[in-house]
Amino acid sequence: MFLPQQVHHSHCLRDALPNIPLPFSLLCWNVYKKNREDGRFAAFVQSRQADLLLFQEANFKNGDACRVDGYSYDAAANISYKENNYGVLTASRAVAEETKAYLSKHRELFFATHKSLLISRYRLENGDRLLVVNVHAINFREDRAYVEEKSRILRFLENYDGALLIAGDFNAWSRSRSKKLLQTAKRLGMKRVPFGKSDPVKSVFGNHLDFIFYRKLKLLTHEVPDDGGISDHRPLLAKFDIL
């Protein structure tokens, strides 16, 4: 596995919407590299009709990633292997006004790979801006590295005070990591979509790995739909409106 020569990939539709409708829905999912391999994937995503898709461990090439009609996407690669790229991918029915891709400062111990982060800015139907942060957090490292990467997110966002979504696979598999993650969210003035312990969210040692955080938005609904075993993580679905 190698660091890709091209980190940021993008594909825009000619007939993409100028903005994200209100209310809007978000599907967040660690797809376990199945988005270009499993024929059930596109059917499942289409059935949910989400306005925003945030994938982690996505497999992509320019113009060939979602295998779902009607979405533009940006992606941040952290691994290149046998001509395939893997990383986080954010797709929408509207084209992002601006997107920035980042690689983690630290590398994971076993494979010496970085993790990727994608920050995208969209215009909402009412003219407001929405910042969307797609995260796949560093995993096989000590808590110090985990905290440093969370601190980087704070620095990236410290001058932004508008509507904000941060979602993804945070690898918060310990009580210590979960506590540090929630502290970071609190510093950003964010609420957590309240998936409970009884919800079938991917967990390790009783701690959820996947989260959706939001700010200056109103949460309408949330659920953990059954994907039929496409991935080793269950997708998270939430619907929002402006306050």
Distances (CA, A) of 103 to 3, 112, 192, 232: 10, 13, 24, 24
Cα gap 142→201, rounded to integer Å: 24
125 pLDDT more than 90: yes
Cα gap 21→148, rounded to integer Å: 35
Q: What is the mean pLDDT of the chain?
A: 88
What confidence score (pLDDT) does residue 78 get? 86
What confidence score (pLDDT) does residue 144 get? 72
Q: Using the structure block, give the residue that is written with the tokens 């209310």.
A: 23
Cα gap 160→199, rounded to integer Å: 32
Q: Return the higher-pLDDT residue of 120 and 158.
A: 120
231 pLDDT more than 60: yes
What confidence score (pLDDT) does residue 14 get? 72
Model pTM above 0.85:
yes
- Tell me the one-letter amino acid at 230: I
What confidence score (pLDDT) does residue 4 get? 64
> What tens digit of pLDDT does each residue of 158-212 get?
899 999 999 999 988 889 889 988 999 999 999 999 999 899 999 999 999 999 9
Contact status, residue 55 vs residue 31, Cβ threshold 8 Å? yes
What confidence score (pLDDT) does residue 66 get? 61
Q: Return the higher-pLDDT residue of 177 and 26.
A: 26
Please give the average per-residue pLDDT across 63-89, as a whole number. 81
What confidence score (pLDDT) does residue 197 get? 87
Listed in order, strand segments (DSSP E) in the chain are 8-11, 24-30, 52-60, 72-81, 84-92, 98-103, 116-123, 129-136, 163-169, 191-192, 203-204, 207-208, 210-215, 217-223, 236-242
Go through the domains of the chain in sequence order and give each one's CATH number.
8-242 (3.60.10.10)
Q: Return the higher-pLDDT residue of 46 and 15.
A: 46
Please give the average per-residue pLDDT across 55-62, as a whole number. 84
Q: Return the higher-pLDDT residue of 156 and 194.
A: 194
Residue of 159, 167, 122, 144 lying closest to 20 (CA atoms): 122
The helix or strand, by DSSP H or E, that contains position 176, with its residue range, turns out to be: helix 175-187
Cα gap 131→119, rounded to integer Å: 7
Instruction: Map residue 88 onto helix, strand or coil.
Output: strand
140 pLDDT more than 70: no
What confidence score (pLDDT) does residue 118 get? 95
> What tens digit of pLDDT does each residue of 89-117 get?
999 999 999 999 988 766 665 555 778 89
What confidence score (pLDDT) does residue 64 get? 62
What confidence score (pLDDT) does residue 63 get? 54
